Structure 1
């Protein structure tokens, strides 16, 4: 049911490709605008990607769906606020487009979560509670991530 083949696999592959596209365009923007040292960015990228990411919610499909619904919403807010705060119209438009994609991802997972509430309300509510109480963005291991995430969440 949740393998690589079929509707779920098709969705996961598409979602992964869209997320990769976001990373590519943001990296290209940073390099083209000379906003960062390209060598430092690549060292940081390699360090972060080499460490990998393992979801706190991998033990449960319901927890995973709840997590991604909230994570995509938080990512949308972060991208919109970052674009506004950048002071660069190009960056703002780019991140607005990415935020639109993130919103569509959130809607997909929100709809799955809504269906899970219809099918198994007690289990779904338990998963939502667990995810909200222990919520962390995927970048939580990055130095100073918490402070930067809080600033973007409130639009500073």
Structure 2
């Protein structure tokens, strides 16, 4: 079965749910290198096209005034429904399908002014995090949205 790399813009609450439940129920909005993207960007290599669609997802968060948090996930093609341009609908997400996490400079630095303004045509800097760093990413995302961070360890881990 073919897999599709999708970039899901998530809010801190969704990220917390993914951490807690190890899944998110869809439909979820994401970006991906769709046939429409390939048709309009024929000169781009696959990696360049993926970078471009990740930027589109990040820009949506900036436009919404939300912290820039993206989840890159490798999903089965049957779980992804193409929409307009790079936008797709994802039927759901499980933590084992997450390949990486990306944070904007606003989240990494804790300063929303670290992002380019809406009238600037600048690329957003996205920092890569491994899935084993989900607790750190969640804390940074919660802090960037003004929410308190949490102790993510389970009862067994706390007691040892």
TM-score, normalised via structure 2 length: 0.21
* Greater radius of gyration (CA): 1
TM-score, normalised via structure 1 length: 0.22
